[in-house]
Amino acid sequence: MNKVTIVGKKINKITSWLFSLGLGLFPVVAFGTPSQAAEKIYFIYSPLIESLDVDSLKNFAETGNVPLDLKFYLDIVGAETEERQLLQTALTRKVEIDPVLLARSLKTDEGERLLESFGQVVNIRGGRNGKYALRGAIIKSAFEEDGLTLLNVLDNLGVDVQVDLEKAFGFAKNVSTILTGTERFIDEVEQLAKQEAKFAAVADYGQRPDLRKMGIFEVEMETWQLTDQTRDRQFYAQIYRPQKPLGEKVPVILISHGLASAPERHRNLAQHLASYGFVVVAPQHPGSDLAYLEEFTAGYHRQVSDLQEFVNRPLDISFTLDELERRNGAEFGGRLDLENVGIYGHSYGGYTALAVAGAFPTPNFEQLNEDCAAEWGIFNNALLLQCRALQLSPEDYNFRDQRIQAVIAANPVNASIFGEAALSQIDIPIAVVAGSYDPATPFIFEQVRSFPWIRSEQKYLILEEGQAHVDISRLDLGITSLLDRIPRLNLPSPQLLNDYSEAIALAFFQVYTAEDDQYRAYLDPAYGQYLSQNEEFKTFMITQDSLPELEAAIAEFKQENQIDIN
């Protein structure tokens, strides 16, 4: 066994802490991390270089015995028996994931960007970016019988690696700041919602209709096959209509699905709205839907979504509205109100909804260039998708469709691709929905950051505790297994989150699309309190009235942490 090599000064408290950081960080970056095995891991903080034999980790993982060089690090960290057992388990814990999908994903634009960032911390010996070594090791391990484990990744590294502790320190500091900031703004929204609710007009929601329940109309669904000849684009749309709509005009809602999703994923919401008299139309976006992901996994595409989807998605919405106009007379008796349409968009569909609602320019190349180069960008998963838009031809695309007059953007991909310049152009009623557990469009980056930029006087920010971007019950590709391994992670029931979303969406569209003011009392933070009573996971709503306090909290956070999230 080789001994620990020390180059430079004697270890002091600072370097002890750095080695502790490096040892703690290594399992994380390696997992998120090319055929002989690596022999050593080097921890570098100039001019110090510390090394650890990989065989020592293997010995420890297999037997529980602690070799001397590993003991050196564990003693520095102050790891007690419990921590050592956790490390032993982490070294051999298998990540359940589709290896084909993983391999293809790591070769996409988003995967390259992610690996490039991690490779700045985990280098090839000598200081070169370790992204190719990391990618090769991860992919090879995932295909092997023993699967993707930390030890297998080390076995499949063809070279020794070094962990740049100075960069790792900055990495860890930013992670801590973002996690702390997320909790801070969750608490801020909660307090602001409670403050607004105190001054709300008294509304006995127990004596009012329960918006969580289905409406009085039976709902029928049909599927249209649409062809936009100007774009040579074919897609389907699902139409949900009440069997006996009341009134001369029938309000219309469009639903735009997210990345790797489909119109069917929003069936519950569509049926709920239709049961109250809305005609709901959910078009497919064929270059970024579930079918495209399946084709990507099968090797038919190099990217998870087509680059032109940034353009095609908003155009799908406008074409669908055009089709409704063409069919309005013959199929709906001319009763569809197509001059005051509402739209609900989730995730990438949130981007789509905001684009047709007036966000301009789309993309905002100036904001996007700045954010894609920012140090904190690696921590915003939504930015991986948004940065792809930089490959578009540099035009000021304007997708505003004047028929759209109200918008709900749920977990939207939006902050960087639009920025303040574009989002400030939205002047119609808008609700932005966020989830406190959302890893795909993080609350601190994609909703807290962008909400103040929207200048509409009728705007709402809704935070759902425990909401993780998607219906957890539908997760696959190994994500459910990963969540199950997180200690003390408690998640709300999908039905509870559906109740929150459907009730508030119904109230919003009744007021701003159906123009029924009887529902305005539901668009109050007090209604969020009512829905949340006796629930562990609550929903909070704030309005334009809380904007000064939210902006002050953002400014204070930025000043304290020297991080520009706005």
- pLDDT, mean of residues 507-516: 98
Mean pLDDT of 425-448: 95
- Confidence check: pLDDT of 499 > 90: yes
User: Residue for token digits 């039976």?
Assistant: 218
pLDDT at 9: 32
CA-to-CA separations, 150 to 64, 85, 170, in angstroms, rounded: 16, 15, 23
Residue 423 belongs to a domain: yes
Mean pLDDT to the nearest integer, 211-216: 98
| Listed residue (393, 446, 415, 381) closest to 105, CA to CA | 381
CA-based diameter of the chain, in Å?
85
Nearest to 508 by CA among 353, 292, 285: 353
Give the least confident one: 145-159, 483-497, 529-543, 551-565. Answer: 483-497
- Give the pLDDT confidence score for residue 36 in this predicted structure: 53
Per-residue pLDDT of 30-78, as tens digits, reads 333 334 556 888 888 777 788 888 899 899 999 999 999 888 878 876 8
Question: Are 358 and 448 members of one domain?
Answer: yes
Residue 8: inside a domain, yes or no?
Answer: no
Q: Which residues contact 523 (CB under 8 A, 6 or more apart)?
A: 460, 504, 507, 508, 511, 541, 543
Secondary structure E strands in 143-229: 161-164, 219-228
Residue 341: inside a domain, yes or no? yes
CATH classification of the domain holding 305: 3.40.50.1820
Q: Is residue 47 part of a domain?
A: yes
pLDDT above 80: residue 446: yes
Looking at residue 516, what is its pLDDT? 97
**Domain co-membership, 148 together with 232:** no
Q: Note whether residue 174 is domain-resident.
A: no
- Tell me the mean pLDDT in the region 80-91: 88
Same domain? For 154 and 242 the reply is no
**Mean pLDDT along residues 345-353:** 98
State the pLDDT at residue 21.
Answer: 36
Torsion angle, CA of 351/356/358/363, rounded to 10 degrees?
50
- List, for residues 114-133, the tens digit of each pLDDT value: 999 889 888 888 888 999 99
Can you read off the two tokens belonging to residue 339? 């001059």
Number of domains comprising the chain: 2
Nearest-angstrom CA–CA distance, 428 and 402? 10
Report the pLDDT value the prediction gives residue 12, as an integer from 0 to 100: 38
Residue 282 located in a structural domain: yes
pTM of the model: 0.87
pLDDT at residue 246, as a whole number: 66
At residue 470, the pLDDT reads 73
More confident call, 395 vs 4 = 395
Alpha carbon of 258 to those of 226, 351, 376, 404, 544: distances in Å?
Answer: 19, 9, 24, 19, 27
Residues 154 and 226 in one domain: no
pLDDT, tens digit, 9 for 90 and up, residues 395-429: 889 999 999 999 999 999 999 999 999 999 999 99
Query: For 244-286, what is each residue's pLDDT tens digit?
Result: 766 789 999 999 999 999 999 999 999 999 999 999 999 999 9
pLDDT of residue 495: 96
- Whether the pLDDT of residue 203 is over 90: the answer is no
Are residues 214 and 362 located together in one domain of the fold? yes
Q: CB-based burial of residue 520 (10 Å sphere; 0-12 exposed, 13-18 middle, 19+ buried)?
A: middle
Q: How far apart are CA 214 and CA 211, in angstroms?
A: 7
Residue 177 lies in a domain: no
Written as one letter, the residue type at 485 is R
Interior angle at CA 492, CA 487 and CA 496, nearest 5: 175
Check residue 512 and give its pLDDT: 99
Name beta bridge partners: 222: 239
At 566 the pLDDT is 57
Last residue of a domain, one of 105, 126, 159: 159
Same domain? 97 vs 189? no
Same domain, 214 and 323: yes
| Same domain? 42 vs 103 | yes
> Does 102 share its domain with 204?
no
- Look up the domain containing 19 and give its range: 13-159
At residue 486, the pLDDT reads 53
Out of 159, 192, 213, a domain closes at: 159
Q: What percent of the chain has pLDDT over 90?
A: 66
Rounded to the nearest integer, the mean pLDDT of the chain is: 88
Q: Measured between alpha carbons, how far is residue 109 from residues 120, 207, 388, 408 in Å? A: 17, 53, 7, 29
Do residues 341 and 403 make contact, with C-beta atoms less than 8 angstroms apart? yes
pLDDT bracket for residue 489 (50, 70, 90): low
Query: Do 127 and 259 have their domain in common?
Result: no
Span 348-361, average pLDDT: 98
Q: Is the pLDDT of residue 157 over 70?
A: yes
Is residue 18 pLDDT above 90, yes or no? no
Identify whether 36 is part of a domain: yes
Q: Are residues 227 and 281 in the same domain?
A: yes
Of the candidates 128, 159, 190, which is a domain's last residue? 159
What pLDDT does residue 378 have?
A: 84
Q: Tell me what pLDDT residue 485 has.
A: 53
Whether residues 53 and 103 fall in one domain? yes
Closest by alpha carbon to 503, among 548, 468, 541? 541
Strands 40-45 and 161-164: parallel
